[in-house]
Structure 1
Amino acid sequence: MDKQELGAFLRNRRERLRPEDVGLPSGPRRRTPGLRREEIAVLAHISTEYYVRLEQGRAPRPSADVLAGIVGALRLTGPESDHLHLLAGTAPNRSDLHSRQVRPSITGLLHRIPSTAGFVMSAAFDVLAWNDLAAALMENFAARTPDDRNLARNAFMPRVSDDATMYGLSDVAEFRQSAVMGLRSASARYPDDPSIRALVDELRFGSNEFARLWERNDVQPPSMLTKTFRHRVVGEITLDCDALHLVDGDQHLVLYTAPVGSAAAQSLAFLDALGADGVGVR
């Protein structure tokens, strides 16, 4: 149980709620944002004293019934509820360390799937495996060190030599939000993983934007159904983006595709013909 993070998460979510969100009158005497602690306690059917101690990081581990009451009182979404349980220590961690090993069948699939740029990303946003079309669309990952293949680090602390931020993505801000939420969730799932802790510390101290987003305590990433790249060879290209969760390794298989016969599909075919070496290292 991470008492301090649990308290911060509860406080943050309580302060975001408005009285009218839970059917309470706003009233003229509210001096601070959000609901009062005693109001959450009533809605959750627990004592105010115990809820205050939870927010202050002084309470023992809450039971499943208490957490269920708090989830309802704070109007938490599914991902937020999962995160709450992880912080409270009531959801098992997959392992002490996040996995960086990609199943051979997934690696093989990457190289067999046609007209698709694909890569596998770890829970810490490391690119672990990719196909040639992904290298042509984004960058030649084989020419980078493992640290330089971390998408969160590249989003917040881009390499000086890069001529385009995050491969020319048009929604870099949205990706940064998603990366922060993903790392916060990974930190809760793998609290003893030194590589995740080190990455989060590096980004918190090295990027004011990451630090600002981290303090928001968000854990539900926005939906990203398409991605638009500004590629230096084929120009602007908008692709469908699907991220499939590989449960056994807690990884994501990210696939970029285009409708058959579209201009984007023609651009992908051109990049596929050129290959990573033809496009050049970004």
Structure 2
Amino acid sequence: MDRRGLAVFLRDRRAKVRPEDAGLPEGTRRRTPGLRRAEVAHLAGISVDYYIRLEQARGPRPSRQVLGALARALRLADDERTYLYHLADERPDLPAGPPQEVPQGVLRMLDRLDGTPAYVMDAKYDVLAWNDLAAALIRDFAAQSPRDRNIIRRICRDGGHDERFVRDCLADLRATAAKYPSDPGVRELVAEVNAVPGLAAMWDEREVRVRRSSRKRIDHPLVGTVELDVDYLVVPECDQRVVLYTAAPDTPSHEALRRLRTVGARR
């Protein structure tokens, strides 16, 4: 165990966590940035004395449970969490399933993208958040149950999707299934895919691929046919992706998005 390295990492990361991000009042008498030691101990459910000894490189080797609690208290990203476990000579816990909570910064970004259809999905293709233009372009997600917002489930039920799009989604799902083998939602999706003969045949080809970009044609009832570039921006700390639909400037599709934004505002 690298006690000194662990102590330095804990002190450094504690100084970078804003109290409001940890659900704590900011206060007015903080002489240094970040959380206080007592606050980290409280959030992690350990004694203040134990946490102080860890930061002073004289504490005992923390258990896996304590490491996990510290990772949550300090809001560590996946790579930081892995490093924390490495310092304590422990293998990091595998996540049980794709996180569902969308970071506040990502939600604020969605609101600002009022001219670009955008939504957030998790690793198993559950749509978690969206802006108004995405709802106007694709579907009214708010009118659907969370279960019916899953894109792969709609592929299984609806059919008629572009084959390349379907193959990309299934290859992505295979990567997710390998990462979250015990997640009930992922296993249920895999079972639904294998219940559809055409999709089961694609699944048996065992393609593995994480999607980064594509191109999509949408026939919209209000603005007609649009050809859009689809880009997937990874949010690594929570294994989510922001999906953006854009069109090249001065094209019919770009004008269609502009009209759709106007129609949506009027409605």
TM bin, normalised by shorter chain, reads 0.5 to 0.7
Query: 2:129 aligns to what?
Result: 129
From 167, 191, 197, the counterpart of 2:187: 197
Aligned residue identity for 1:192: S
How far apart are residue 198 of structure 1 and its match?
Answer: 1.2
Query: Any conservation in 1 of the 2:121–2:241 contact (CA below 8 Å)?
Result: yes
> What corresponds to 2:22 in structure 1?
none
Mapping of 1:70-149 within 5 angstroms? 94-149=94-149
Deviation string 1:39-75 (CA, Å, 9 cap, x unpaired) is xxxxxxxxxxxxxxxxxxxxxxxxxxxxxxxxxxxxx
Deviations 1:4-35 (A, max 9, x none): xxxxxxxxxxxxxxxxxxxxxxxxxxxxxxxx
Matches within 5 A, 1:24-103: 94-103=94-103
Contact kept in structure 2, 1:174 and 1:222, CA below 8 Å: no
Structure 1: stretches of 5+ with no match in the other structure? 1-90, 160-164, 167-171
Offset of 1:228 from its aligned partner? 1.2
2:215 to 205, 226, 236: 226
TM-score w.r.t. length of structure 2:
0.62
Q: Deviations over 1:130-185 (max 9, x none)?
A: 001001110010000111111011112129xxxxx56xxxxx21111011111111
Given candidates 225, 228, 231, the residue that maps to 1:239 is: 228
1:259 maps to which of 243, 248, 254: 248
Aligned to 1:212: 201
CA–CA distance in structure 2, aligned partners of residues 199 and 107 of structure 1: 26
2:156·2:192 contact (CA, 8 Å) conserved in 1?
no
Q: Which 10-residue stretch deviates more, 214-223 or 118-127?
A: 214-223
Q: Distance in 1 between matches of 2:154 and 2:209?
A: 21
In 2, the alpha carbon distance for the partners of 1:276 and 1:104 equals: 24
CA distance 1:247–1:260, shift in 2 (3 Å): same
Q: CA deviation at 1:107?
A: 1.0
Tell me, yes or no, if the aligned pair for 1:243 and 1:255 is still in contact at 8 Å. yes
Question: Which segments of 5 or more consecutive residues in structure 2 lack a partner in the other structure?
Answer: 1-90
Detail structure 1 runs of 4+ shifted over 3 Å in the superposition: 91-94, 221-225
- Tell which has more relative contact order, 1 or 2 (C-alpha 8 A, sep 6+): 1
Question: Tell me, what secondary structure is at the counterpart of 1:253?
Answer: strand
Alignment partner, residue 70 of structure 2: none
TM-score with structure 1 setting the length = 0.58
1:265 maps to a residue whose letter is H
Question: Equivalents in 1 of 2:211, 2:176: separation in Å?
Answer: 17
- Shift in Å at residue 234 of structure 1? 1.1
SS at match of 1:157: helix
Q: Which of 159, 162, 165 does residue 175 from structure 1 map onto? A: 165
Q: Equivalents in 2 of 1:252, 1:244: separation in Å?
A: 5
Q: 1: CA distance between counterparts of 2:97 and 2:212? A: 27
Inter-partner Cα distance in structure 1 for 2:265 and 2:121: 19
Paired residue secondary structure (2:218): strand
For residue 250 of structure 1, report the CA deviation from its aligned partner: 0.7
Identity of aligned residues (%): 35
What CA deviation, in whole Å up to 9, does each residue of 1:96-149 have, x standing for no partner?
111111111101101102420000111011111100100111001000011111
After superposition, the C-alpha distances for 1:231-265 in whole angstroms (9 at most, x for unaligned) are 11111101121111111111111101122232211
TM-aligned CA deviation for residue 192 of structure 1: 1.2
